[in-house]
Every structure is written in C-alpha cells, then in structure tokens.
Structure 1
Amino acid sequence: MEPLEVLGVTANIIAIVDLSAKIASLCVQYSLAVKDAKNDIERLRGEVNSVTDVLREVERLLQGPDSARLSASQKLRDALKDCFSQLTELKKRLHPGKTRKAMSRIGVRALKWPFQSKEVDKVVRNLERCKQTVSLALQVDQTVLILGIDQKIDLAKLPSAKGAAFDSHLDEHDARCLPDTRVDLRRQIAEWAEDKQGKCIFWLNGMAGTGKSTVSRTVAQSFADKGQLGASFFFKRGEGDRGNAARFFTTIAAQLVTKVPGVIPYIRKAIDGDPAISEKTLKEQFEKLILQPLSEMKRVPPQASKLVIVVDALDECEREGDIRTILRLLPQTKDVRSVCLRIFVTSRPELPIRLGFKDMSGGTYQDLVLHEIPKATIEHDVSAFLKHELTRIRAEHSKIRPQHLLSPDWPGESNIQALVEMAIPLFIFAATVCRFVGDQRGNPKKRLGSILEYQTASWASKLDRTYLPILEQLLLDQDEAEKESRAREFREVVGAVVLLADPLSIISLASLLNIPEEDVTCSLDSLHSVLSIPTDRDAPVRLLHLSFRDFLLDPQKRGKSPFWIDEAKTHERIVSKCLQLLSRPNYLKENICGLRAPGTLRTEIDSRTIDDCLPADVRYASRYWVHHLEQSNGRICDGDQVHVFLKEHFLHWLEALSLMGDASRSIGMVDTLRSVLEVKFSRQLKVLVRY
C-alpha cells in the first residue's frame, strides 16, 4: 500500500469526523428547541458520536508507525464513502442554512425536527452498518498489532447455522421494540450486562407469544451498537440447523472470531488438533472452541473486554438432551477471566429448561418472567404498539385506496382498548391482528370487526382469538362440500409447511407434494398474516411465529376444528412424498452428477452441477425423509415403501448425501433406521442398513 493511498483513507476519515462534529452540534441545537422529539434527537446524536469515536480510533492507528501493516483499515474506502454519503444527506435534511436564518430572526424556538421516528430508525441503522464495517476492520488491525502477526482461520471448518445471527437477512423484517416500550425491562438487562459483579446468565422466560424474540433482537442490536455483542444464536424449529444444537457452538465460535480476533490462534489450534471437532459432542465443541480459547487469551482489545452472547428461543431446540447439555455448559463461562462474559437466554418456561436452571449452582443466573410483568406495563406497551401499527395501516390504506378513506380517528380508542384487553399478555396477538387487518387484499374495517367479534367468546383461548378469525375467512360463503375440500387442501399444504424440518419455496413444496404450483399458491394466498410468503417464488415459505404451529397441532382440537393437523399422519404423508420424489427416474442413480472420474473430490465439483442434478426438493427429501419417518412413529416392514426404496436406492442415497456435504449425518440416519426395524424385517435389509 503506497503512502499516498493511506493518506487518502486518513484524509477521508478526517473529513467524516469534521462532518460528524457539525451534525452533532446541530443536534444539540435541536435538542434545546424541540421537546417532543428529544429521544429521537439524542439517539441520532449518540449514533453520530459513536461513529466518530470509531473513526478517530482508526485514524490514530493509521497515523502510527505500523500503518503499512494495517491492511483491513486501508481497505475501508467503500465503507467510508457510504458513511460520508449518509452523513451528507443527514446534514442536508437538517437544513443548516435555513435554521441559522430562522434562529437569527426569532431564536432557537424556530427549529422544527425534520424526521419521523421511523426515519430516525432507518438513519441509525444505516450508520450502525457503516460503523460495524469500520469496527470490524479496527478490531482485526488492533489484533494484528497486539499479536505481531497476521492471523487467519478457515471458517469453513466452523460450520454456521444459516440465519441464526440476530441480524440475519432472513429475519431482517422481524419486529424490534418500539422506542417507548419495554423500557424498564431493557434497562434491567442493560444494567445486568454492565454489572461486573452480576450473574453470568440472564434468563428471560415467558409463555408463547409474549414477545421474547422481539426483546432478544432489540437487546442484541443494542449490545451490537455498543460493541458488546460477542455472538447470537436464534433457535427456530423447522429452520434446518437453527432447529437443533448441532451447529450451536460452532456458530458462536465463528462469530467470536470476528468480534475477538485474539481467539483465532487458540481456535485454530483446536481445529488443527481435531479437524472433525465440529462433529464431536457439544461438550467437546464448547470446551475446545469457546471456553479454552477465551481462557487462554492473554491480551484483549478494550472494546472486546465485555461481551454478551444472546441465545433466543432455547425451547425450540428439538432435543431435550441437547438443551440440558447447553444449560450445563454455559455457566462455566463465569470462570473466564480474559473477558467479562455474559449470556442472555430466552425461552418458554418448559420443564427441561426449568430443571436445567434449577440444577445450576447458586449465584449463576438471574431470571425474569415476561408474562408476570405488571399488567399496567404490558397494557401500555401493547397499546403503544397497536396505535403505532394501526395509524400506519390507516395511512397506507388511504394511499392505496383513496376512494375508501378510513376516518382520521379510525379505529377509535374504544376498539384499541378492546384489542389491548384481548391481547394481554400476548404481543403475538397484537402483531398478528395488525398483519391481518393491514393486508392490502382485504377491508381493514371488516377484518378488524371479525377480530372484535371474539372479545366476548368466553370459550376461546388466547391463541383461538389470535388465529381463528384469520382461518375462518378461508371458508366464508362456501357450502359444506367446498369447505371440506378447502380444509383438506389447507391440511395438506399448511400441514407440510409447519412440519418441514427446513422451509421450502412454493416451487419446491409443490414438487415435493406432487401437486400443481397454482394449488399451493391458492392455499397460501390468504395466510400472509401468519406465514412469511415471499414474492420470489424461489424463496422459502416460513412460519412467522411458532405459536401458529402449536395452535394447528393442539391435540385438544382433534375433531373440533377443520384446520386441526394430525402431526404423526402428516409426517407419515411427507415420508411417502419424499420417497416417491426420490424414486422418480433420473433423480437418485449411480454417478448422479455424471462425473468422469469416480475418485473426484467433492470440492472439485462445481456447485451449480450439484444444484442442477439435486434440486432443492430432492436435497430436502434426501436429508429429512428419515427425520419424518422417526417423527411419524412408523416402523419399517418387509415389502413396504421404505424397504423397497432402500433396496433400490440405498447407495444412490448415500452418494447424494455425500455430494451435498452431509455424509457425516448419514451415520445418525442409518442408526435411526435400524431403531425402527420390525423384528420380522428381512435379513437382507438388516445387512444392508448395517453396512
């Protein structure tokens, strides 16, 4: 890197710092004059100052004697350009020229804050993105100076669960707490994280739908803004590796590498010593990839001396044994001395988790029960959310359908209060109602009315009141035969969606179920308020909240609801569909990808070739048909569908798993198959499966 190029980066930083100082000064002037936007002004000023602090630290490094070795900071041109652009636009919106004239004429009271809260949210997020990019470069270069050598690690050896981080693209539109909600709770969590003498674990528990994940995303973002977020893992049942613990500790370790580069040599030593560490027991992974590396670090950059790991929805981890193991291991982080490490955990208060915390030694954790927060506090927060969302819906509806304007006071204070009473303590009720009422395909007044009809239904549970009004819309104005047909289609399509081990797109779902794509689309078209249904036909259809799955699978609704889904039978149906798909001509066969040499390494095969020969639905069926068989409580008998499939395609199936990079998982699948063999099962297949 030529000195002139380094000087260019430094000069850019100086220009941005100067611009930031002017914006911060303007914010101070607004703060003195505008009282009703004080929180937004302070948030914006705080983020601008935070960006400035990080940039000044980079500037200090680049002006030092080792600047030529700081390759990460020298590559910040694009990030700095983006940051400068964001700040320039921000300064323009604040109208410094006009404000000076107005202030000279009638004083500071002439100022008017030019942003809505949502706009401030967007600006803050953009500045956070710039800051995080710069912060990462700063952390890498500081570590280079501390260690005196460039450190690298092959992150492919630390496999991560896709979408598990709090800021994953998959979940970027999931809700955060509004600024004036959950205030006391967020304060308690922040104080716990700052208390050096505090408990190492904070357990936030609450029943389904009380807003745990929204709180988790909000506090994770807050810790990230402060540079304190070490890692995050958001469990989500039915989302591949997010639904189990197989990639939990490797995902945490991969994120820690970027936050605390000082652990790199120690994690690399663990990987070099045991290249298959990612397939070992959770205890080994935890000790070798997290506990020992953090304990062995000698020097830690100041910004990494205090870290929080956020673990959301632990109850959605599929295996109870894994949950108990995780809860047994996490308290050991209290013995780490190199950093002040805190673990924030959320879950439902289910028995295995309650027992896991009960078994922890005294003084290890503090807890807070979300649904036991005072009713007045929950009422305030739910009311604030409803007012915010319904005001937005009214404005959007007026733009889209100006000929059917909603009145300025819609939906009215009495209706909002009725919704609040119906919701408490479930935030998921309020969120689902707003998605349903705000769906542009419907009439907001009519949809709100259908929800409010349930306020006097004493027989209806909270989840009934949340989901029945939405589902009943599917059967309106239909005769009995049509209702039964529609309900059957619902159970087939939505039953698969809620029980898939990994979400599929509409195209792949139609292929797996062997039904027309249009039928799948029609079945899902009215369910946007409970399912994430992307406009991109290749993107996966996903559950918005696990409580919808719970509602549909509730055994107490058997025979009472046309929408009830028989879990075991649906798994059984999916197994059959998977095996039918895999048995189609040209899917599973010898040399699936048409390789010229049988000894070709998988790394030498173009990924596009694998995707073409093994499309998404085939990959899903190969990975998960055994899972669905196990969940169906089925057995393998001589001559049945599974028996025939294994006799014809067992080796082809193993080849497909190998091509997909899942060869190691085949061992567990074969063990599962052996466990569900009928006693009378043929000697031939026993030998085959044992092989």
Structure 2
Amino acid sequence: MGLRKRLRLAVGRSRDPPDERNVPTSSSTPRASPSPRPPSESRDEPQPPAAGPTSSPDAIPATEPKARLDAWNKAYDDLKSTDAKLVSEYERLLHQEAGAEDAPAQDTSSPQTEIDHAGHKRRRQQMENIAQTALDRTEKEARGTKRAEEVMGVVDLARELGAPVIQTFPQAALPWAGVCAALQLFKNPITESKAQRDGMVHVITRMKWYCELENQLSRKIDNGKESDSGLLNLLEDKIVTLYTALLTFLMRSVCSYFKNRILAGLRNALKLDQWEDSLKAIKKSEEDIYRDVEYQNLTEVNSNLKEILAFAKEKESEFFENVLSVMQAQLTLQLSQLDQQCLKDVLLQDPRIAKEEIEDVKGGLFEESCEWVFENDDFRKWHEEDESRALWIHGDPGKGKTMLLCGIINSIQHRLPQTDTLSYFFCQADQPNSNTFTAVLRGIVYDLARKRPDLIKHVREVYDVKGTKLFTDNGSWADLSKILTQMVSSLDQGTTYLLIDALDECQEDRDRLMKFIINKASEQPNLRWIVTSRNWSSIGSFFEKKETVRSLSLENNADLISLAVRGYISYQVNSLAHEKGYDDGFRAQVETQLLSKAEETYLWVALVCKALRDTEGDPFWAEEVLNEFPAGLDDLYSKMMNQVTQGKQADLCRQVLSCLALVHRPITFLEMVACIDLTPALRSKALSEERLASILKPIVNLCGSFLKIRNETVYFVHQSAKEYLNGPQAEAVFPKGASHAYYGIFHRSIMSLMTGLHRDMYRLETPGSLDSFGIHINDVKNPLNNALSALSYSCVYWVDHLEACVAGNDDQLNILVDGGGLETFLKTHFLYWLEALSLLRAMGEGITSSGRLLQIVRVSPSKLHANYYIHLR
C-alpha cells in the first residue's frame, strides 16, 4: 500500500490501526475443498502439505486420472513437445537442485533428467519435493548472509502465498517448482534484469488467480449447458496458452540463474532472454481471458476472480517492498571505497542530525500540536490529488512552521512503505552549510544516496570526472540539480517526498531553488514537495496561482492553530508544575496568563516557559516574572533587551550579543573567546582560553532568552531573535555601528591567529595535505587537545568580517593594509593559515577567501608588501 493511501487512513486524527487485509475466504471465493472435486480426481488422495516433504515418488502409482481441464499438465506437455531443449535443461537443473549436493555432477549430454513422465501424478509429486527442497535451500543459504533478514522476508512471503495454493490445487506444483527454484535470484536481485524480477513478482503473487481460473472453469463446465461448450472450450484453450507462457518464463528464469553468471549477464544485456516480451505475453494472455470472462457474462466467475486479483495486487506491492529491502541491503554491502568517499564529499549537512538539533534547541517536539494539519483541506488535497504535487506552508515568525514540518516528517516516516522515499532539509540562515541552493541540493542528494545506495551511481557519473569541484564550483547547483532529477526518476516504483523548511532562510540562489521546485513539480509525477516559509511576497509570487502548488496559510487556519497552541500551553504548564511543584491553583493561573498573551505564537510560549524554568525559589517570584512579560513576540524581545542592558555585566552582555548577531554560524565558547572584545581587566589576567570560556557561560545566561546553549555551542533561540538585534535594537547592540563591530571580530580573530598558529600544528612532521609525502588529509586525526578548536571560526571567517568592515571605507582599508594588522598577518602567518585551513578540511573556503582578499587589497596594491600581493594573486 502506498503512502498516499496510508495517509488517507490516517487523516481525521484517526489513530486506529489500518484495516485488516485478509485473503478472500471460501465465502467469497470458491475453493477446491467446498466445491465438487472433478470426477477424474481420486477422492481419497491425500493432500500434500506445502511446507513439508512428501512421500517417495516410488510409492506413487505410475499414473493418475486426468482432471476435467488438466490445463497445467497440458501446458507442460505441449511445451515439452515444442521446446524440448528448454524443458530438458530445466528439468536437469531442477533435479540437480533437489538432489544430494554430494552427488556426482550429471552428464549434461545425457537426455536422462530423472523427472519421471510416466504419469502426471508422479511428476507432480516430484515437483512438490523439488519446490520444498529449493525453498529450504534458499532459506538455509540466506541465513548465512549479512542480509539474511531481508532475503527471508521474500522467502517467507513466497511460502505464505504458495502454501494454500498447493494445498488446494495440487497440479500447481508444476509451476511452483520453477518459482521456488528461481527464488534464488532474489538473494542477489541487483545482478538480475529488472524485467525478470518484475515478472517473477507478478507470477508469484498471481499464482492463486492462475489456478482459480482452471477451478472456476471446471465447475462451469460441470454445471453448464450444452450451448456454452464452444465458448468454454475456447476459454480453456486460452488458459492453456497462459499456463504455457508462465511455464516458459519460469523455465527460462531457472536456466538463466543456474547457468554461468557471466553468460547470464550478457543475455540480460542483449535481451536474448526477452524478459520484457515474456512478461508482456503473460499479461496479454491474462487480459484476453479476463475480457472473455466479462464478454461471456460469467458473473460469478468474474466476481471471484476480481476479488482474488485485488488481493494479488496488494501482495505484489508487499513483495516489491521486500525485494527492494534486499536490494538496498545488498548495495550497502557493496559500496566501494570510492562510493564511500563520494558520499563523504557530498555531505555538508546531515538532515537527520539537523532535525535532532532543531528539536532539541526548541525544547522538543509536541506531536499533538501538529495533528491539526492532517485534517486540513489543503493538506488532504495535496496527498490525494495527482495534480497537487507541492504544498507551500507559510506563516509569520514563531508560528511553529519548523516544528510542524518535523511532525509531518515523523508521520510520513511512520507510514512510509519501502517503495516510497522521504528526504528533507532545514534551511538555517545562520548556518553556511544550510543557507544556499547548493547546500539544499547536497543535503537531499546525500540523504537519498545514504538511504538508497543504488542511487549513488548518478553522483559518481559527475564526481568521477570533476571530483570535489562538483560541490564547490560556482555553478555546482546546475550539476547537482541534474543529479537529483536523475535520482528521483530512478525511484519509479513509488513516490518520492522532498520536504524543505524555511525557504526564507535560504540566502543564496533562493529564486533558483523555488524555480527548481516549481519545474520538478510539473515534470515528475512521482515527486511530491512540502516547503515552508514566512509570508514573504517574494516567495508567494513563485507559488501562488501555480496549478501544481497548493497553499496552506497558518493565519487562515487561526482556529486550528489556536487549539494546537492551547494544547502546547497545557503540555508546557503541566511540565512546569511537575518540575517546580506548582499547586493546582497556581498551575491554572499560569495557564490562563499564557493563553491570554500568547497570540497563537509557539515561540512566545516557549520563551516565557524558559524564563519560568530559570526562576528559582518560591512560586511568588515566578508570578512576578510572568506578570512582567508583555503579550506579543516583538514586545517580549524589547522586554528581554531592557533586562540585558540594565542588568549586571551589561557591557559584556552587549559584547556577546554583538558578536553573535554578526557571526556566520553558531560558535562554541572557545571560538567566542577568539572573537569577542573582552574587558581590559579580563585580558590583563592572562587567563587560559578554557578559563575565559567558563567565564563567558554565565554571561550568555544573563542575555535573557535570546540565546540557548547546546553541546558547548551558543545558538539563537530563533532566527527572529537575531533579526531583532540586527534591526530594531541595532543601536543598542552596536553603539558605534555594525562596521565597527565587524572590525572588532576581524581584529580579534587575526590577533588570535597570530598568537595560536604555528608551523605543523598537529606535529605531523610532513605537510598533511600533500599525497606525495605519504599523508593524505583524510588520514589525519584531530589530536586530543586540538589547538585549532578555539581558532576554527576565526580561520574560516576572518576575511568575511574584514570585507564587511571595509566596505566603502577606504580610510579603514588603508589603515589595515599600510603597516596594519592585515599586512603583519600576511607577512608572518599566511602559510600557517593555509595549513590550518587544510587541517580543518576548509581549503575550499580558504581558496574563496583568498580570492575575495585579493579583491579587497587590489584598490591599493602598492601599499601592501609586494611579495604577499603576489601570493594572493
């Protein structure tokens, strides 16, 4: 069952398990046991169990009476007459498969195959034994592999489908022996033709339908009129034709598998085995029979066959999922070192880790606050209508778009069949690895290749030619767009879901990204998109009035959002009451205040609850804090800023906020020490970097609820908090202007670099980036006490801050270049800087920075020491 069908079961907040899907019973589908047995079939013949060996063929009479139609035997005998060579080779291989493994190899030139054709009953009994032996052997061999669980899923499903068929229709042993012998191709499915795999799944899942054809027609002949005999005989001939096509396909599959594997591979490549044509012949015979059944108005037969066919199609989907699981396990084991290196080079942001970090920073995901979206009409139409291939979710800051997408991701993953694929990406404006079109493409390509290793071939086609330039060149988005398109096209057995959060935080090539989404939504019917963003007109102009895009506005669903926020508030207050020991009265008071001031904004609720958690002592003080917080997000930010500027250590708090408002990614406390302009008193104490970092921690805690700490790294609680500091509060945060603050980060960075960098930082004794010296950068491990940990941000981004502080300020540039800090740094530490970039795996950024640095100093090259200007060129 596809995801879209599964989601239909889930909408309406239905938490009930999916409907039970049962095999059609005897009440709906006539089976051999309750129906009259054909008179030619012995009534006292024991029905052989499908899952156990039968008695020896020697104990079976040489002949058995024919069934009324006896279509399987007719088809087998006809094929033996028309293609004796194929049948002989097939029987020889079956006997070899069922025989003792220690037996001497048979003479392939001998016509003796050990399949007894003296009687149909004896042959059928032999085929049952062969089928069981083949199943047991496949299972035994599978258990010894690293993908045993996946292969056993295929074997178990085959047993489930075959056992009732053989018990009810003993003559089905003729094709079932071929099925069980050919099951071995599913141990290594990627080595087989796709058309052959698809044909095998088609045949296995429809085996009951095939056998029921003969059973239904036999009953019709028994009960029919003389005038119907001509039509029924014609239908009988078509059934035999179908059975012949099935047996031919199965025999060729068995021969193909057991023959020399290289030769079999050539036959697949040259289409000498004509798998596609064979499958078309089978399907055409099925359609002819189905059409005749309808034409002859065999209503009861038609109804029964339809029911069985519906069950077969459902099992076909399940079988494909199991085969896909085997293929994925096999491909994972076969990833070459070059594949693994390619994946490492693609990796920029792992979406799984990004999602975990986002949920952690935001205080965890409250799943129930996301459930309203599954009842939303726009969401329903997105997943139910074929033409609605993209869903744009948009709303104001703090309305919970990111956490809503996290909830949707979890819901899709929970119901995702193996034929469908899900990938997602979170744009983050303050993360260089997450705020460009190229970063989005790399993240999704990596995630798809990690989940489906067979897709990495699309990356390798370009990677093997361009290497890492594929990911770092200015036009890399073009190659990556084509690669992603090819990957999605390869996933043609199901639906691919791509979800992208916060388009407004994609700061480079956002328009290209949106055009790409629109184009692919129109071109690729198996691709479904969900994107989120703020209510920006520049984004809305791309998505509004597009036939393939549905728009879901959070503001237009205020009632549902309000209910969800109420649930979130209740959850947060109950958690607070448990942690702080609030009594029922105060718990209700807190909940009432939050409800009255939240304005349907999750972020506001989260910030206030964080402040309440940080409040120590009697609930009286928590009540004071709660009363002080104003309603609305902007007013809350203003209140928080006033607390920072009027509190203790206000100057250091302003320095921290100033630094964090301008850096290009979240930074650690150690990195902050290298960037921030600490007070003279702190600098004069000559404290270690670690000691200074510990001093900064309580300063960060004093910065109200703007910041959050995770794993020694400082983040803004939300992008809107950073925007607030750079916008309405810019004068308070940057009293001397942003340019001066940029200069402060630049100056502190190169001072820290000149203090901390030296030759051979990791004591490798040879340059770590040059293969010719026997050490590759990928083989270098970071030392336990890594001196570059504190300098990492400064190494990579000092040029960015230089560029920002000198933009349009020639006087500032001249001071830096003419005997200033920049010239000194280039004279003494330029090569050490390059070595550090190499050790940080950031040479790509270093090359880009060197080019921009050249542009900066070009306005006045004579004032820069000539040798170092040449170095930059």
* TM-score of the aligned structures, taking structure 2 as reference length: 0.56
The equivalent position to 1:583 in structure 2, one of 747, 754, 772, is: 754
Aligned equivalents of 1:356 and 1:600: distance in 2?
A: 52
Residue 151 of structure 1 deviates from its aligned partner by 5.6
Aligned to 2:154, what secondary structure does the other structure show? Answer: helix
The equivalent position to 1:383 in structure 2, one of 566, 579, 597, is: 566
Aligned to 2:471, what secondary structure does the other structure show? Answer: helix
Q: What residue number does 2:826 align with?
A: 646
* 1:85-107 deviations in Å (ceiling 9; x for gaps): xxxxxxxxxxxxxxxxxxxxxxx
Q: What residue number does 1:85 align with?
A: none
Q: What residue number does 1:688 align with?
A: 870
Which amino acid in the other structure matches residue 575 of structure 1? Answer: F
Structure 1: runs of 5 or more not aligned:
1-37, 50-54, 72-134, 399-405, 456-460, 477-482
Q: Is the 8 A contact 2:369 2:568 kept in 1?
A: no
Residue 622 of structure 1 deviates from its aligned partner by 0.8
Structure 2: runs of 5 or more not aligned:
1-11, 22-147, 157-182, 191-319, 683-691
Q: Is the 8 A contact 2:608 2:626 kept in 1?
A: yes
Q: Is the 8 A contact 2:400 2:601 kept in 1?
A: yes
Pair 1:465-2:641 in alignment: no
* 1:400-450 deviations in Å (ceiling 9; x for gaps): xxxxxx22132436x534433422142211111112112364655434433
Aligned equivalents of 1:494 and 1:506: distance in 2?
A: 13
Aligned equivalents of 1:685 and 1:199: distance in 2?
A: 61
Q: What residue number does 1:115 align with?
A: none
Q: What residue number does 1:161 align with?
A: 348
The equivalent position to 2:513 in structure 1, one of 323, 326, 331, is: 326
After superposition, residues 203-352 of structure 1 pair within 5 angstroms as 203-227=392-416, 228=420, 230-275=422-467, 276-280=469-473, 281-295=475-489, 297=490, 300-301=492-493, 305-319=494-508, 322-334=509-521, 337=524, 340-352=526-538
Q: What residue number does 1:432 align with?
A: 607
* 1:192-211 deviations in Å (ceiling 9; x for gaps): 45235233322212221111
Residue 680 of structure 1 deviates from its aligned partner by 3.4
Q: What residue number does 1:486 align with?
A: 649
- Cα distance change, pair 617–238 in 1 and its aligned pair in 2 (3 A): farther
Larger radius of gyration: 2
- Cα distance change, pair 596–667 in 1 and its aligned pair in 2 (3 A): closer
Q: Is the 8 A contact 1:240 1:501 kept in 2?
A: yes
Q: What residue number does 1:517 align with?
A: 693
Aligned equivalents of 1:442 and 1:494: distance in 2?
A: 28
- Cα distance change, pair 257–491 in 1 and its aligned pair in 2 (3 A): same
Residue 650 of structure 1 deviates from its aligned partner by 2.2
Pair 1:570-2:753 in alignment: no
Residue 381 of structure 1 deviates from its aligned partner by 2.1
Aligned equivalents of 2:375 and 2:365: distance in 1?
A: 12
The equivalent position to 2:550 in structure 1, one of 366, 369, 375, is: 366
Q: Is the 8 A contact 2:423 2:444 kept in 1?
A: yes
Residue 291 of structure 1 deviates from its aligned partner by 1.0
Q: Is the 8 A contact 1:202 1:344 kept in 2?
A: yes
Residue 141 of structure 1 deviates from its aligned partner by 1.9
Aligned equivalents of 2:496 and 2:763: distance in 1?
A: 49
Aligned-pair identity (%) = 19
Q: Is the 8 A contact 1:164 1:232 kept in 2?
A: yes
* TM-score of the aligned structures, taking structure 1 as reference length: 0.69
- How many residues were matched structurally? 546
Q: What residue number does 2:154 align with?
A: 61
Aligned equivalents of 2:782 and 2:566: distance in 1?
A: 53
Aligned equivalents of 1:179 and 1:332: distance in 2?
A: 34
Q: What residue number does 2:791 align with?
A: 618
Aligned equivalents of 2:380 and 2:635: distance in 1?
A: 37
Q: Is the 8 A contact 2:351 2:426 kept in 1?
A: yes
Aligned equivalents of 1:632 and 1:363: distance in 2?
A: 46
Aligned to 1:510, what secondary structure does the other structure show? Answer: helix
Q: Is the 8 A contact 2:395 2:554 kept in 1?
A: yes
Aligned equivalents of 1:434 and 1:270: distance in 2?
A: 50
Aligned to 1:409, what secondary structure does the other structure show? Answer: helix
After superposition, residues 174-193 of structure 1 pair within 5 angstroms as 174=362, 175-179=364-368, 183-184=372-373, 187-188=376-377, 190-193=379-382
Q: What residue number does 2:729 align with?
A: 557
The equivalent position to 1:142 in structure 2, one of 327, 336, 341, is: 327
Q: What residue number does 1:353 align with?
A: 539
Pair 1:416-2:591 in alignment: yes
- Cα distance change, pair 157–542 in 1 and its aligned pair in 2 (3 A): same
Which amino acid in the other structure matches residue 65 of structure 1? Answer: Q
- Decide which moves more: 658-667 or 181-190: 181-190
Which amino acid in the other structure matches residue 716 of structure 2? Answer: L
- Cα distance change, pair 165–143 in 1 and its aligned pair in 2 (3 A): closer
Q: Is the 8 A contact 2:395 2:534 kept in 1?
A: yes
Which amino acid in the other structure matches residue 572 of structure 1? Answer: Y
- Cα distance change, pair 340–507 in 1 and its aligned pair in 2 (3 A): same
Q: What residue number does 2:713 align with?
A: 540
* 1:336-373 deviations in Å (ceiling 9; x for gaps): 55x61112111123354345446xx8324222222343
Q: Is the 8 A contact 2:643 2:704 kept in 1?
A: no
Aligned to 2:762, what secondary structure does the other structure show? Answer: coil
- Cα distance change, pair 279–475 in 1 and its aligned pair in 2 (3 A): closer
- Cα distance change, pair 148–170 in 1 and its aligned pair in 2 (3 A): closer
* 1:246-293 deviations in Å (ceiling 9; x for gaps): 432121111112334442333322322432311232432333320133
Aligned to 1:243, what secondary structure does the other structure show? Answer: coil
Q: What residue number does 2:762 align with?
A: 593
- Cα distance change, pair 324–408 in 1 and its aligned pair in 2 (3 A): same
Q: Is the 8 A contact 1:504 1:541 kept in 2?
A: yes
Aligned equivalents of 1:56 and 1:613: distance in 2?
A: 43
Which amino acid in the other structure matches residue 213 of structure 1? Answer: T
* 1:30-85 deviations in Å (ceiling 9; x for gaps): xxxxxxxx979x37x57999xxxxx99764225553575599xxxxxxxxxxxxxx
Aligned equivalents of 2:725 and 2:453: distance in 1?
A: 45
Q: Is the 8 A contact 1:233 1:252 kept in 2?
A: yes
Which amino acid in the other structure matches residue 392 of structure 1? Answer: S
Which amino acid in the other structure matches residue 776 of structure 2? Answer: T
- Cα distance change, pair 306–68 in 1 and its aligned pair in 2 (3 A): closer
Aligned equivalents of 2:774 and 2:434: distance in 1?
A: 28
Aligned equivalents of 2:835 and 2:733: distance in 1?
A: 42
Q: Is the 8 A contact 1:151 1:264 kept in 2?
A: no
Aligned equivalents of 2:643 and 2:324: distance in 1?
A: 53
Aligned to 2:532, what secondary structure does the other structure show? Answer: strand
Aligned equivalents of 1:688 and 1:336: distance in 2?
A: 50
- Cα distance change, pair 332–422 in 1 and its aligned pair in 2 (3 A): same
Which amino acid in the other structure matches residue 553 of structure 1? Answer: N
- Cα distance change, pair 287–381 in 1 and its aligned pair in 2 (3 A): closer
Q: Is the 8 A contact 2:661 2:722 kept in 1?
A: yes
- Cα distance change, pair 685–66 in 1 and its aligned pair in 2 (3 A): farther
Q: Is the 8 A contact 1:204 1:370 kept in 2?
A: yes
Aligned equivalents of 1:445 and 1:428: distance in 2?
A: 24
